[in-house]
Structure 1
Amino acid sequence: MDKAKTIATKQLPDKAERQKLFGSVEPGPRTKPSEKSKMADLQNTKKDFLFDLDAVGIANVKHPISIASNLEPKTQTTIGTFEFSSSIEKSSKGTNMSRFTEQLQAFHQKGFVIDLKTLKTFAKDLVERLDQKDAEITVRFPWFYERRGPQSDLSGMNHADIMIRVNYDTTAGYTMEASLTSLITTLCPCSKEISEYSAHNQRGEVTMTVGLAEDFDEEATDWKEWLLEAAESNASARLHPVLKRPDEKMVTEQAYENPRFVEDLARLVAADLYEMAFVTRFQVQCRNEESIHMHDAIASITYDKRQDESPQEEG
């Protein structure tokens, strides 16, 4: 049986009339200036506005970026989520928000490769554009890296979550902070000890946030690779996107041979970060999604290596 064709028979008002039906009105008289030089600039008003502001800016700005990596793929593109801000003295009402995105577009047109050198330039240029004493840029993005099966050598893509924050102050100079969050496997030492056979394991998450030395040479050392290794090498086993049976045998046996409490993992990762010369301070946060409990297990360490360099008090 042939399907009958549907023919529109309802008579509708034209588009302009339909829009009026739903609230559109004719433009009214224009009395305010349309030239920028004649427009009021409320944000640049100078008065005593009671308090200084720590940060004013924009957040959740998504933009395409490029990333360089020592691991394959060595050049990759992804989406960066940005936050831009500067402090404001109480004598200023606010900032010009459009200047943040104007500068982002300017850097994009030159090819926005996310590295510390570029972000330092961005922050310093932003200070000049805003005519403020400081500026800060934070960007978050997924970083992909190739991982091969330990026996089959079949490859796939893993990823870690990255954050980089650069602050430039005209008096204090640069402050740089970075973090990496990696997923790993942990096997419970207690379960291995008390059970006749087997032991429960779980997926864990390690987040390392580090302060970077101002003279850190990113061209000589890829900090992403170093932090990733600190997390994965101290876990019971690494995660793999592709595992054949011989690979799975190796990974599960490795996990059994390297049991880790969440406390163990935090301390081992902290020890690696402590030995990295380009790290000035760090925080390690570990979380295990327990496989035989309803809860997660957590542990964290915060340490400032610069305190070790302070002279000891006598007495």
Structure 2
Amino acid sequence: MKDVQSQRDERNLPIDKVGIKNLRYPITVLDREQGRQQTVADISMYVDLPHDAKGTHMSRFVEMLHLFRQEVSLRSFSTILQEMRTLLEAERAHIDVTFPYFVEKKAPVSAEPGLMDYTCTISGSISPEGRTDLLSTVRVPVMSVCPCSLEISEIGAHTQRGMVTVSVRFRKFFWIEALIQRIEKCASSDVFSVLKRVDEKAVTEQAFRNPKFVEDIVRDVALSLKEDANITWFSVSAENYESIHNHSAFAQISSESLLA
């Protein structure tokens, strides 16, 4: 059969990224407590296309995904990136895998268990020289109490739920759960899926004893990551979904800014 994609293109324009985007696919990820966890990912895969190639072979991207059904790991990322370069005759390849990661979390007083889901993304790319770059991102919901509101109010203070997003590059393997816990410790309080009244009391009082601006949260997370020799690069952002304002509060800091 005639292969139109393999024909020559005369427009002389290379393409930076071509491939598939937002494919939902079952994957297996490592779980610190259970060993492995089955989840469903949103996967995007791209390669570069030379100036004289008409198109890439889209079906080959999907054919390679069986590796992620076995296990999403540093090894599987490196293998599939190399396969993408080889099978698609490309110089560069890139993958984004976004998935919900579930952690059983007990309420602070009653110890009632509940499942928390955290959105995680692992991005990988490979250069023409064969160098692999991996970036892990996790989004962690938190609670914050406004220090200013607490200071000026006779009764109470305004609180909000927020989202902390952390991206890291690293030297060796680390557990997602460990990064999540590190982030949660930097907020006024972490959040839970199941809380009894005794737990609500404990969480509320803990948060009010520990008021935080978004600026405080990103600085505390950044300091924690800066002290970790396994982390080679990071970016931290915090967004508070304000309860008394018609806007969110936002702050961001990266490891580059600490070197400036």
So what's the TM-score if we normalise by structure 2? 0.94
Name 1:211's counterpart in structure 2.
169
Q: CA deviation at 1:263?
A: 1.0
The 3 A distance-change label for structure 1 pair 172 and 101 is closer
The 3 A distance-change label for structure 1 pair 269 and 170 is same
Which residue, 63, 67, 83 being the options, matches 1:102? Answer: 63
Q: In structure 1, list runs of 5 or more residues that go unmatched.
A: 1-38, 309-315
The 3 A distance-change label for structure 1 pair 241 and 47 is closer
Q: Superposed, which structure 2 residues align to 1:39-118 within 5 Å?
A: 39-70=1-32, 72-104=33-65, 106-107=66-67, 111-118=69-76
Name 1:15's counterpart in structure 2.
none
Name 2:191's counterpart in structure 1.
239
Which residue, 67, 89, 112 being the options, matches 1:131? Answer: 89
- Distance across 2 between alignment mates of 1:267 and 1:95: 44
Cα shift readout 1:249-273 (whole Å, capped 9, x = no counterpart): 2111110111000111111111112
1:143 aligns with 2:143: no
1:280/1:304 contact within 8 Å kept: no
Higher Cα Rg: structure 1 or 2?
Answer: 1
- Distance across 1 between alignment mates of 2:203 and 2:193: 12
Q: CA deviation at 1:167?
A: 0.9
SS in 2 for 1:235: coil
- Distance across 1 between alignment mates of 2:229 and 2:67: 31
Given residue 252 of structure 1, which amino acid in structure 2 is its aligned partner? T
Q: CA deviation at 1:128?
A: 1.3
Given residue 232 of structure 1, which amino acid in structure 2 is its aligned partner? E
Name the structure, 1 or 2, with higher relative contact order (CA <8 Å, separation 6+): 2
Name 1:187's counterpart in structure 2.
145
Count of residue pairs brought into register by the alignment: 260
1:165/1:176 contact within 8 Å kept: yes
Cα shift readout 1:16-71 (whole Å, capped 9, x = no counterpart): xxxxxxxxxxxxxxxxxxxxxxx22221123443222111100011111112121x
Q: CA deviation at 1:230?
A: 2.7
Given residue 149 of structure 2, which amino acid in structure 1 is its aligned partner? S
- Distance across 2 between alignment mates of 1:182 and 1:225: 11
- Distance across 1 between alignment mates of 2:57 and 2:104: 42
So what's the TM-score if we normalise by structure 1? 0.78
Give the structure with the larger strand fraction: 2
2:103/2:177 contact within 8 Å kept: no
Given residue 164 of structure 2, which amino acid in structure 1 is its aligned partner? V
Q: RMSD of the alignment, in Å?
A: 1.8
Name 2:200's counterpart in structure 1.
248
Q: CA deviation at 1:196?
A: 1.1
SS in 2 for 1:267: helix
After the TM superposition, list the runs of 4 or more consecutive aligned residues in structure 1 that deviate by more than 4 angstroms: 305-308
1:73/1:144 contact within 8 Å kept: no
